[in-house]
Structure 1
Amino acid sequence: MPIRLAGAASLSALLLLAVGCAGAPADGKASPGASDAVTPAKPLPMKPTPRQATWTGSDHTAHPLRITPTRLARGSDSDLKHIRLDDDLKGMVPYYLTFSYTNTGKKTVKMASPERNFSVNGVDGLAAQPVSLFRTNPLATDSGLPPECREGGATELAAGATAALCQIFMLPKSQRPATVSYKDDGGDTLIWPVGNAGGSAKGVLAPDVPADGITEDSRRRPVSLRITPKGVRTGSLADLSRFDLDADQKKMVPYYVTMQYRNSGKYDLLPSMSEGVSLRTAGGQSVQRMTFIDIGGPGVAKCPEAVPDKMVKPNGVVTECSVHLLPKGDPPAAVLFTGDGEGSTPIVWRASVDQQ
């Protein structure tokens, strides 16, 4: 997970996840109480269901943990006004994820950092940006940081011990969280829905709404398209039995994305628009289509590459299907089409999955 640094301080003052912000009394614990400059965060509806998970440390040893996201709260864009943020984070809204983790194994876990496996994800399937903050003045009585993220988690856990931690995530104002996810080092992605996860968001189209896009022909001339999603289906690994999948791919779930393209431009097109199709998952991952080496073969019968399989002339229509392998437990949240050429911008649809 990328670490985004904000603020100015010496490296010795760098604390992951905004640890220990207020003045410290003799026992070394941070003083409670919020800054007058901080707007109270608004908790969002999320069921704090404990889940069994795995975290793997730098020693490549897998440790069993029980993890529970206990609270997700929406902050204000003014919460971090005294922090120097990267330009691409300015104007975003902070969300504060608090979670607990318990060592369910028999050995002490050292240097535990399960926060790196967590993600807060928007309705459009895009993962929020995690933020790490510098402590600008360790002796200050008030740092201006939100109270949710003033305590640090334990990096060493004895068997049966529990710790809690808070992490800051940034989302654009136009988006809202749909899920909290944890990428299990030893298995499936774990998902916790937030509020009405099936709702809409700015810039995200309904699953079957046509949209206009742009691509290029073989001579790199711009060609406009009218694109209509025709469905996302859950597939089966048996459908891909003709192809050589590796061990990790055999643990995943195939999804078939069908799109219809009308050539609304002036030049012929090779039916290859599905190269610009990708899926965003509920866990915030972006998954490109699979490329199969199958010269002259039948391909994937339940997901034909192009119908009809010939050049698409102006005003012609072609239907294409692409295969995407997703981790178990991490279903599609959105379908994206990214075209080619100047003026092309990604188009996002909310994914609606049909079972085969």
Structure 2
Amino acid sequence: MRVPIRIAGAASVSALMLLAVGCAGGPGAGKAKPGATEAVTPAEPLPMKATPRPATWTGTDHKAHQLRITPTRLARGSDSDLAHIQLDDEFKGMVPYYLTFSYTNTGKDTVSDVSPERNFSVNGADGQAAEQLSLFRSNPMATDSGLPPECRESGKAKLAPGASAAICGIFMLPKDGQPATVSYKDDGGDTLIWRVGGGKGGASAGVLPAGKPADGITTDSRSRPVSLRITPKGVRTGSLADLSRFDLDADEKKLVPFYVTMQYRNSGKYDLLPSMSDGVALRTVGGRTVKKLTLIDIGGPGVSQCPEAVPHKMVKPNGTVTECSIHLLPKGDAPAAVLFDGEGEGSEPVTWQASAGSGK
């Protein structure tokens, strides 16, 4: 018996951000700034190999359609590109990146309402996915901005067999951020990855080197805060055969298990139940945040390749415990960072770089 894994989406699509002059926006929508002047700054292309990939897209007809998708250009924009737009506070201090891609219907039937842009993500080196914006393409203000031509128009929603179209997606990243990958969440289950530049994306602010000890906070059985000294010990690639005792569903059997091993030292005042791994998640190269897989195995041997806790007893002050958590990733994706999100007053998430295959 098991509790299914929860996989967060690669990137959330914001409310519609660009409204025609005189239109009223709904809750959370951006509004045009009256009288704003616009200084056009050409977008700066980033190195990315435009490799076509076969992909699956599922439409409103609930049928799988075969496409060929090709990211052709990723460019860094400027604040001035959106000078007329009143963005939500969460986008303040962020800059737009424009991802242009083409898509071709490689199937035998005409595809209607096709919108593969929803499955794309632009991701930092730590696996943090950018926020995707949706714009009304009919706004005349956009024609004079620094937006690439494809970002001023809608793509073709209907494609005959062999027909192609191009469209642009807009992704918001912090000014000090830098993309490392472009990914496509294939409706067939896999993740397609394209590297940007060297694929490293530079150092990510707030991300610690793999294996570096750091402080965190959790709570005891009485909800009292307890400080921790946390040391990541590694990320390993597992096998579905390791989980053969458990009843995985059909979708989970398409995924690849990864094992995250962490050591915790109780630097607080109270005893702790060894359950700190509940706060561990993997961020992936494809922009997902994947929490641990919870397996119900009362009195059973568990998964020998990834023991829940060693030793399996209360962790007293100054005591240590090593815990392992299981995370299921789509084929084609890989770990980018390990995240510990603790509990209690003053608790802050801690993030480390991850390297698949380490810690064996």
Q: Same fold (TM over 0.5)?
A: yes
Task: Name 2:336's counterpart in structure 1.
Answer: 333
Structure 2 equivalent of residue 259 of structure 1:
262
Q: Report the Cα distance in structure 2 between the residues aligned to 1:129 and 1:231, rounded to whole angstroms.
A: 29
**8 Å contact 1:6–1:83 — kept in the other structure?**
yes
Residue 303 of structure 1 pairs with residue 306 of structure 2: yes
Q: Secondary structure at the match of 2:294?
A: coil
Aligned counterpart for 2:287 among listed residues 271, 284, 293: 284
What SS is found at the alignment partner of 2:13? coil
Deviations 1:318-347 (A, max 9, x none): 100001111111111111000001111111
Match of 2:277 in 1: 274
User: Quick one: structure 1 residues 13 and 71, their matched pair in 2 at CA, closer, same or farther if it must change by over 3 Å?
Assistant: farther
What is the match of residue 27 of structure 1? none
Partner of 2:7: none
Question: Residues 49-128 of structure 1: matches in 2 within 5 Å?
Answer: 49-128=51-130
- Please state whether the residue corresponding to 1:130 is helix, strand or coil: strand
- Aligned 8 A contact 1:92 1:173 in 2: yes
Residue number in structure 2 paired with 1:131 = 133
Tell me the equivalent position of 2:154: 152
Identity of aligned residues (%): 72
Alignment-derived partner of residue 221 in structure 2:
218
Going from structure 1 to structure 2, the CA distance change for 1:119 and 1:133 (only over 3 Å counts) comes to same
Match of residue 6, structure 1, among 1, 17, 22: 17
Contact 2:56 2:67 in 1 (8 A): yes
The TM-score with structure 2 as length reference comes to 0.88
Q: Which runs of 5+ in 2 are unaligned?
A: 1-11, 26-36
Is the 1:278–1:336 Cα contact (8 Å) retained in structure 2? yes
Q: Distance in 1 between matches of 2:139 and 2:264?
A: 57
Question: Is the CA contact (8 Å cut-off) linking 1:217 and 1:268 kept in structure 2?
Answer: yes
The answer to whether the 8 Å contact 1:7/1:136 transfers is: no
In structure 1, distance between residues paired with 2:188 and 2:153: 28
Q: Gaps spanning 5+ residues in structure 1: where?
A: 15-34
Give yes or no for contact 1:123–1:178 (8 Å, CA) kept in 2. yes
Q: Is the 1:13–1:135 Cα contact (8 Å) retained in structure 2?
A: no
Q: Which residue of 2 aligns with 1:173?
A: 175
Q: Check conservation: 2:50, 2:72, Cα contact below 8 A.
A: yes
Structure 2 CA distance for partners of 1:136 and 1:344, relative to 1, 3 Å: farther
Query: Aligned residue for 1:18?
Result: none
Q: Distance in 2 between matches of 1:137 and 1:192?
A: 31
Distance in 1 separating the partners of 2:320 and 2:264: 6
* RMSD of aligned Cα (Å): 2.1
Q: Distance in 1 between matches of 2:139 and 2:238?
A: 54
Task: Say which SS state the counterpart of residue 295 (structure 2) adopts.
Answer: coil
Residue matched to 2:245? 242
Q: 2:352 matched to 1:349?
A: yes
For the Cα contact (< 8 Å) 1:124–1:204, is it kept in 2? yes
Q: TM-score, normalised by structure 1?
A: 0.89
Corresponding letter in the other structure for 1:4: A
Q: Distance in 2 between matches of 1:185 and 1:249?
A: 14
In 2: Cα distance, 1:258 partner to 1:11 partner = 55
SS in 1 for 2:351: strand
